[in-house]
Amino acid sequence: MPELPLLDKRKPAIVILDFGSQYSELIARRIRETEVFSLVMSYRTSANELRSLAPKGLILSGGPSSVYADGAPLPDPGIWDLGIPVLGVCYGMQLMVHQLGGQVEPAVGKAEYGKAPLEVDDQTALLANVVNGSTMWMSHGDSVKSLPEGFVRLAHTVNTLEAAIACHKRKFYGVQFHPEVVHSKDGMLVIKNFVYKISNCEPDWTTTAFVDEAVHQVRSQVGDKRVLLALSGGVDSSTLAFLLHKAIGSQLTCMFIDQGFMRKGEPEFLMDFFDKKFHINVEYINARERFISKLRGVIDPEEKRKIIGTEFIRVFEEESARLGPFDYLAQGTLYPDVIESAGTNIDLKTGERVAVKIKSHHNVGGLPKDLQFKLVEPLRKLFKDEVRKVGMALGLPGEIVRRHPFPGPGLAIRILGEVTNEKLNCLRDADLIVREEINTAGLYDEIWQAFAVLLPVCSVGVMGDQRTYAWPIVLRCVSSEDGMTADWSHLPYDVLELISNRIVNEVKGVNRVVFDITSKPPGTIEWE
């Protein structure tokens, strides 16, 4: 039995088998939005393992392979005899056809990518209430040439004859589009039809149910032992702190290591918020000089990350020994991290499952195994948006729950080139102005991240009839659903103008502001 389903005693109502699609996690998120618990598992999961989990439905994800190619990832044929509904999405649909006696071949004429109107031929079951002509997001280079026995067509497009298929008797369904992406207009309706009408799932995956289960789980695991949490003030660690405090109270100790790369006033705010306002025990560790001294002369961003991560570990080891002993270490591991560590990603050339290196944890930075802690990870089955809901249910104020993601190394990687105290102070002031004006304009919740970047170059300017030679600030604002892809936020000109005027007039050392209009991909959200 793989580790992934054993996150707790709750079994998934819907299991998604991952064949390497970039959208597998998104399918799981969409199902959870219907208040039904789902898990992503490797395509290698056996039929017997699935049978022991007793899901009410099974979804086969998309993927980059062709089902007829050598080495294509194929599931256990026994999944077709589980007696539960199955939905194949893109590659998953082609697998269904291929393994059940139909035929798949390269798309005749041309492949189909992007938006296409779906012509509905049969509105029963899967496509019930889906509007004829509804836009769906297509992404495939192969098509179905012939259907297996017992299958019928549900829908087609101009370029795809079999855009949706079904074997109603066995409750097998397939779609050649991605219902999980926002571009598919009635995609969520398709998902709800499969979850509720076809798989007969009950909407019992609620925030209240999760909190109750998590509190019980933590109490059962920890008993009367002490727990240590590295607190950053981000959504994940803050929510975890509130959850653990609700479960075990004074047995929890939070450690906030101030490495000197936080935003303006944030260390003081966090200590006041957690320790004084909510009476959650937080040990403040001032390590600012220690960290910045390690970065003298360092320019390479990856080297910065490694140095900061290593120093964090050293400080954590020293302080945990001083404050301890502790039996448990709490971490804000989320479900996407669990999926990646389980190695469900597929090698695009061989079709084989491969392990993926996960970036260091936001707070802990890859703690060494010899610390001898047992892990407490009650958020490990949640996506980021679910964590926000849990945080609100636990009483975290909106200013914490809604805050934009912030990198673990902080402002050190938003300063290109060497990090100095002068540059840090400059960037802090500029960053504060960005956030203040975005908030004032009522745009904060519409933007995934809004921040400033300081470049290690100078340009000539004129201020007060005097020549200046100062740094530029880059304004980076992006809109996204999960951070995996992002588009630059189209801010109103008057807001951009106000931000620029304030930064140039109020921030010492800056005489120019530029606006980054690059999407991800090809760019990244951060500049490092």
CA distances from 380 to 3, 296, 383, 523 (A): 12, 37, 8, 29
Residue 269 CB partners (closer than 8 Å, separation 6+): 233
Task: At 333, give phi and psi (nearest 5°).
Answer: -60, 130
Q: Distance from CA of residue 324 to its chain's centroid?
A: 33
Question: How far apart, in Å, do the first and last CA atoms of the chain sit?
Answer: 40
- Torsion on CA atoms 419, 423, 425, 429, rounded to nearest 10: -120
Catalytic-residue membership of 178? yes
**Residue 299: Cβ within 10 Å count:** 12
Q: How far is 396 from 237, CA to CA, in rounded Å?
A: 12
Question: Which residue's structure tokens are 């469900």?
Answer: 344
Q: Report residue 156: phi and psi, to 5°.
A: -145, 165
* Residues sharing a CB contact under 8 Å with residue 410, sequence separation 6 or more, in sequence order: 259, 261, 262, 263
- Find the catalytic residue in 90, 167, 201, 254: 90
Half-sphere exposure of 413 (CA within 13 A, CB side): 19
Q: Which residues pair with 468 in a beta bridge?
A: 461
Dist CA 245 CA 250 (whole Å): 7
Residue type, 459: S
Q: Which of 98, 112, 162, 178 is catalytic?
A: 178
Q: Token pair of 209, please?
A: 């149910």
Q: Is 426 annotated in the active site? A: no
Structure tokens at 97: 């056809």
- Which positions ≥6 away from 83 have C-beta within 8 Å? none
User: What's the residue count for the chain?
Assistant: 528
Query: What is the SS3 assignment for 67?
Result: coil
Distance, in Å, from the CA atom of 274 to the CA atom of 238, rounded to the nearest integer, reads 9
Residues 6+ apart with CB under 8 A from 209: none
Q: Report in angstroms the alpha-carbon separations of 507 from 99, 145, 222, 450, 500.
A: 64, 64, 49, 18, 10
Residues in contact with 440: Cβ distance below 8 Å, sequence separation at least 6, in sequence order: none
Q: HEC states along 433-463? A: HHHHHHHHCCCHHHCCEEEEEECCCCEEEEE
Residue of 25, 112, 162, 180 marked catalytic? 180
What is the Cα–Cα distance from 240 to 252, expressed in whole angstroms?
A: 11
- Name the residues annotated as catalytic: 90, 178, 180
